[in-house]
Amino acid sequence: MKKLRRKEKDNKRKHLINLFKWRSFVAVIACLITVTVSLTAIGYSFISITLEEVREMFRWFTVDSNLLTALAAMLILPFAIEGISKKRLTYPKWVQRIHYSGAICLSMTMVFAVGFISWYDKEIAFGGANLFLHILCPICVITSFMMVESNYTLTRKDNLLALIPLVIYGVIYYYNVMITGAWYDHYNLNAYIPIQISVVLAFILAYLLGWIIRIVYNRLLDHREKKLKLIWQEDLDPVTVKIEIYSLGTHAGLHQEKDDVTIPFDLLEDVSERFDIKLEDLSRAYTKGVIDGMKERNNQS
């Protein structure tokens, strides 16, 4: 009976430390597909066209959005690969914002392809490389975005900052179409209603898409935190709790770089309230675990 209880406790500890390892694998696959498909599809689009026409390709928001998304995926890959060993996939706030921006921009291309372009020309919407650029890449980047967590919830400020690439493209598009006439209005923004109104509507759509992504992301993050906290048993004694916290710190020290280690205060505060243990004691246990983990890693190397 004691062996069974010990095994159950070990399984809970393993589950606590592992967290959601499978998400790292999914994120790695999604990022690899995003980078490969984005760059391949854009490269495929360059076949049999002149150098001047290659430059013309960058007038299209779809191409620019896919390049931004490929950049985001390449930035995430090291963290996703590291997450497989750390058993938790996290990345810095600045990477999250680039990833978020890429998700919004490609969501825009998918919505326009499915909701508008496909109504009058399915070939332009889904033909050739556009099937990948308009559909597969957006699905991949949204999947990878939902698989990771930066320990930061997305805010309205993030929602607005993520629109910066769209703002830059919008300014360039307006300047070249309406002021210099260097570009033709290939998105027909000035064909049916004044372009000023079209641009405002496009930004509203982008913000709403970002809002939807933000709500889903924050709810997933909240769900994961609640699921993590449910792992703790109500009847654990304070010594066992401190050992568990120490184990988490040891794992962080073993697998994370020194500059990347942070104290998970939200988790420690919850544990402190639930088991009536001083937050300072839990922080010391976690910190000691981190230091011991780093020493063990140095000894192994």
In degrees and rounded to multiples of 5, residue 19 shows phi and psi of 55, -115
In this predicted structure, which of 23-27, 74-78, 126-130 has the lowest mean pLDDT?
126-130
Percent of the chain with pLDDT over 70: 75
Q: Is a pLDDT exceeding 70 seen at residue 216?
A: yes
Q: What is the mean pLDDT of residues 159-183?
A: 87
157 vs 22, which has greater pLDDT?
157
pLDDT at 143: 81
pLDDT at 160: 92
Give the mean pLDDT of the chain. Answer: 76
Query: What does the block give as tokens for 200?
Result: 């405002």
- The rounded distance, in Å, linking the Cα atoms of 106 and 136 is 10
Q: Is a pLDDT exceeding 70 seen at residue 88?
A: no
pLDDT at 13: 47
User: 108 burial class (0-12, 13-18, 19+ CB within 10 angstroms)?
Assistant: buried
Q: Is a pLDDT exceeding 80 seen at residue 194?
A: yes
Domain boundaries, the chain: 20-227, 234-300
> What's this model's pTM, rounded to 2 decimal places?
0.67
pLDDT at 7: 45
Q: What is the mean pLDDT of residues 177-190?
A: 79
